[in-house]
Structure 1
Amino acid sequence: MLINIQFIKIKGSQNLTQFVSEHLDKLSEKYEWLIRAEVYFKEENDPTGKSKICEIELSAPGPRIFASSTEESFELAIKKTVFELEQQLKKRKAVFAAY
């Protein structure tokens, strides 16, 4: 699976790139029909402290799969986003199995 990572209006980080790549590689091993992942890291001003945003869009057969989360750190946002994607992928796999 091809992974494209973009940092929007923030400085890029090798650690974040490696962290998200590891998590997406695990998804790719489990769901071999994934084609590409677009990952976006953003930061917003939020008085609650949850200002780190991670958005991931997966290209796969059928409609694209998208998840986003806002947390206190990018690592937490990545974990939550990947968890949400995995829930959607399980549903998509069940649909494939039905055919």
Structure 2
Amino acid sequence: MNVNIQFINMTTSETMEAYTIKKLDSLVKKFEKIISANVVFKKEKNSKDKGTICEIELSAPGPRLFASSDEKNYELAVKNTISDLEIQLKKRKGIAKPYL
């Protein structure tokens, strides 16, 4: 799987990249048809409580999947975003039927 990670309004972090790739790899083990992932981390300066945004777009057979999360820290944002994507993938897997 090809992973693209971008950081907007913040410095790049190798630790955050490694954490995100680890979480995405666990998702790929469950759903092997994922081709690529585009991950964007944003830091909102005007937000009072949260302001840490993680957006992930997955490329797989069929329409692209997208999820976004706004949390207090990046780890929680990644965890919630991947959880949302997992729900979408389960729904897609339940709907898609192999041709016989």
* TM-score interval, smaller chain: over 0.9
* Structure 1 position 94 matched with structure 2 position 94: yes
Counterpart residue number, 1:39? 39
Query: How far does residue 97 in structure 1 lie from its aligned partner after superposition?
Result: 3.2
CA distance in 1, matches of 2:98, 2:53: 35
* Structure 1 position 69 matched with structure 2 position 53: no
CA distance in 1, matches of 2:41, 2:51: 11
| Residue identity matched to 1:33 | K
* Structure 1 position 19 matched with structure 2 position 19: yes
Q: Please, which runs of 5 or more residues in structure 2 have no aligned partner?
A: none
Query: How far does residue 98 in structure 1 lie from its aligned partner after superposition?
Result: 6.8
CA distance in 1, matches of 2:62, 2:16: 29
Secondary structure, in 3 states, of the residue corresponding to 2:16?
helix
Q: Which runs of 4+ in 1 moved over 4 A?
A: none
Secondary structure, in 3 states, of the residue corresponding to 1:5?
strand
Q: Please, which runs of 5 or more residues in structure 1 have no aligned partner?
A: none
CA distance in 2, matches of 1:81, 1:27: 12
Aligned residues: 98
Q: Deviations over 1:10-41 (max 9, x none)?
A: 10001100110000000111111000000000
Secondary structure, in 3 states, of the residue corresponding to 2:96?
helix
Counterpart residue number, 2:8? 8
CA distance in 2, matches of 1:16, 1:30: 22
| Residue identity matched to 1:54 | C
**Pairwise CA RMSD of aligned residues?**
1.1
